[in-house]
Amino acid sequence: SDTIRALGSSQTLTDPVSVIKELIENSLDAKATQITIETSANLLDLIQVKDNGFGISAADRPLAFKRNCTSKITDFSDLNELTTLGFRGEALASAAELAQKTIFITRCEGEPVAEVYDVTRDGSISGKRPIGAPLGTTIRVEGILKRLPVRMENALKNTQSLIKRLRSLVATYYLSHPKCRFGLKIKGQRDTVYPPSKNVPEAVMKVVGKEASTQCEWIDTERYGIKVEAFIAKRFADVAALHKEWCAPYIYVDGRPVAANRRQTTITIIWKMYRTYVKAFSTAEDARVTNPLLYLHLRCPGMYDANIEPGKDDVLFDNSKALKIITLVEDLFNAGSSKQRF
Ligand code: ADP
Ligand code: MG
Q: Each residue's pLDDT tens digit in the chain (342 positions)?
A: 555 555 555 566 779 999 999 999 999 999 999 999 999 999 999 999 999 999 999 999 999 999 888 888 777 666 677 778 888 888 999 999 999 999 999 999 999 999 999 999 999 999 999 999 999 999 999 999 888 888 899 999 999 999 999 999 999 999 999 999 999 999 999 999 999 999 998 998 898 887 777 777 888 999 999 999 998 877 665 555 555 555 568 999 999 999 887 778 899 999 888 888 777 776 655 555 556 778 999 999 988 888 888 777 888 998 899 999 999 998 888 765 444 444
55 lines ligand 1 (CB under 6 A): yes
H helix or E strand, kind and range, residue 119: strand 114-119
What pTM, to 2 d.p., does this model score? 0.90
Which of 36, 56, 108 is the pocket-test mutation for ligand 1 (most atoms within 8 Å of CB)? 56
Q: What is the pLDDT of residue 184?
A: 98
**73-107 core/surface letters (b: 16 or more CB in 10 A; e: else):** beeeeeeeebebbbbbbbbbbbbbbbbebbbbbbb
**Cβ < 5 A residues, ion ligand 2:** 26, 86, 91
Q: What is the pLDDT of residue 338?
A: 43
Overall size of the chain counted in residues: 342
Q: What is the pLDDT of residue 342?
A: 43
Rounded distance from Cα 80 to ligand 2 centre (Å): 17
Q: What is the pLDDT of residue 283?
A: 62
Ligand closest to Cα of 82 equals 1
Atom of ligand 1 at shortest range from CA of 49: 23
Partners of 114 in the beta sheet? 131
Rounded distance from Cα 291 to ligand 2 centre (Å): 29
Enter the ipTM.
Answer: 0.99
Residue of minimum CA distance from atom 20 in ligand 1: 26
Question: What residue ranges define each of the domains in the chain, with the CATH number in brackets?
Answer: 2-194 (3.30.565.10), 200-335 (3.30.230.10)
